[in-house]
A and B are shown apart, each in its own frame.
Chain A
Amino acid sequence: MSLRVCLATFLICGLIASDVHADEPADWLQRMGEALEEATFRGVVIRQQQSKTETFKIYHTVRDGVIRERLVRQEGDGLEIIRNGNEVHCVIPDKQAVLVEAWNGQGTLFSPIQDKLDAIAAAYDFQLTGQERVAGRDAIIVSIKPKDEMRFARRLWLDEQTGFPLKSERLDVNGALVERIRFADIELDAELRDDDFASRYPLDKFKWYPAVEPTTTGDEAVWYSASLPPGYRMESGHVERLDRGGAVVTHIVYTDGLSRVSVFIKSASGSAATTRNRLGNANAFSVARGDYRITAVGEVPPAAVEQIALSMQR
């Protein structure tokens, strides 16, 4: 066999191997993360919950690692969300108000997860489950199925060419839709101008409300969960003052890599009632424990916030 034939055989085998490799769900999630990190696009996004559908126009770019983004709600109050890094200005035209908020650095629509795949694989199974067309582009479907009922299932429709997520779904333990985010139209690598990220309203005439940023007290969180659902681990924990009134709260965040639960513990007197609430897609569970009230909130099934809240000890 000549060297040329050997080389050709080697290259062909390599191509086949790389194709097989690219068919692994984890590889698609890797590609998704890479596509998100540098993405510049404009599009129309439809967000659907159980009882609500809303549509946003979105402009997004990343410059020097800093996300710049503008979302405009197309119905109702016409809310504009203008993001520059972790600072978010929420423009409410009806009220002529701008709420300034400090963001946590997560993606607005989708977050890269390639660095957490090992942790996520402990709690979820990944599968490629088909192909579909979304926003006029061919997409491959990655299903992320939880191994227990302590987290939501997800499905991602990733652009076959780039790995960019065109659609995502969150499903509850019964398979019912919790949230669907989907591009109806998207222009990847769009040429965006500074003007695309500027409000359409005369903000100098609006009332500005500064962020109510929590300040940490420097104290360590002494509370812990004695019985976390499998796969969850502590992501952060500290004591903070939530507002100018000075309410001191222990805030611990648990995550399984995909889902996240915040636990708040504050001293409280008064009602000893146990409450279960909804906050958008999130479930909340609040219980009195001695002189404290423990509240767990997260976009997870009710059973998960309940178990975590009830397991807190000091």
Chain B
Amino acid sequence: MTDAIKMQLSAFVDGELSDEESELLIRRIGRDAELRATVAEYHAIGRIMRAETAPAGMDGLLAAIRDGIDADEVPLAEAVEQPPSRRLFKPLAGFAVAASVALVGVLSVSQLTSTVAPADVVADSYSTPSVETISDPELGARWGLSDGGLGALLTTVEIRQQQLDTTTDEEPESAEDDAEDAEE
């Protein structure tokens, strides 16, 4: 990916790209998996910088697309509080977001950035994937702890949470005792 594209992407996420350039970029995002991944990253960085407060261009765009709002409807822009973002949505109406290639691209971005359920933490290419489908969840949790790394630990936490949700007879330890351990 060239620096020019990165700059363009950054401006797009900030809602500062011109109408014409936005239109071209969205089409390109629809075709380019790497670009979609980068959009997701920029979006995540943006959320951190904004401390999860004001929705900027991407937030509003993704929310609107997720809600299935017709591109010709103005309320799309009303979801966005920041003036630069309003500019971003006007061209969308103009060139019909419904154009399938762009829509597919943007929807992919929304999937990348949304909080997903366990069943979504999967690759399309491999079987019926999800933490839920492993025949013996305890083995999955044991693997996660013995393997190391953040991904493995998060998998273990996910499995343990599912076990908590389904187990009703397990009594947790007293909070006081363990809270003392936590203080150590």
Residues of A whose CB lies within 8 Å of any CB of B are 44, 46-55, 71, 74-76, 79, 81-82, 84, 88-90, 92, 95, 97-109, 111, 177, 179-182, 184-185, 199, 203-210, 212, 214, 242-243, 247, 249, 251, 253, 260, 262, 264, 266, 271, 275-284, 286, 293, 295, 297-299, 302
Please give the distance in Å from B127's CB to the nearest CB on chain A: 4
Which residues of A sit under 8 angstroms from B113, Cβ to Cβ? 53
Q: Are B178 and A55 in contact (CB under 8 A)?
A: no
Which among B152, B158, B161, B184 is the interface contact of A282 at CB below 8 angstroms?
B152
- Given known pairs A101-B145, A242-B139, the reply for A81 and B153 (CB within 8 Å) is yes
- Decide if the interface of chain B is mainly helix, strand, loop or mixed: helix
B128 close to chain A: CB less than 8 A: yes
- Given known pairs A262-B143, A277-B128, A280-B121, the reply for A53 and B112 (CB within 8 Å) is yes
Q: Are B148 and A104 in contact (CB under 8 A)?
A: yes
Q: Are B149 and A108 in contact (CB under 8 A)?
A: yes
Residues of B whose CB lies within 8 Å of any CB of A are 37, 40-41, 43-45, 47-48, 52, 111-113, 115-116, 120-123, 126-131, 133-136, 138-158, 160-161, 164, 170, 172-179, 182, 184
Which residues of B sit under 8 angstroms from A207, Cβ to Cβ? 172, 175
Cα–Cα distance between A84 and B184 once the two chains are bound (Å): 9
Which among A51, A206, A208, A247 is the interface contact of B120 at CB below 8 angstroms?
A51
Q: Are B129 and A286 in contact (CB under 8 A)?
A: no
Cα–Cα distance between A297 and B133 once the two chains are bound (Å): 13
Most chain A CB within 10 A, of B48, B129, B135, B149, is at B149
- Given known pairs A111-B148, A207-B172, the reply for A214 and B142 (CB within 8 Å) is yes
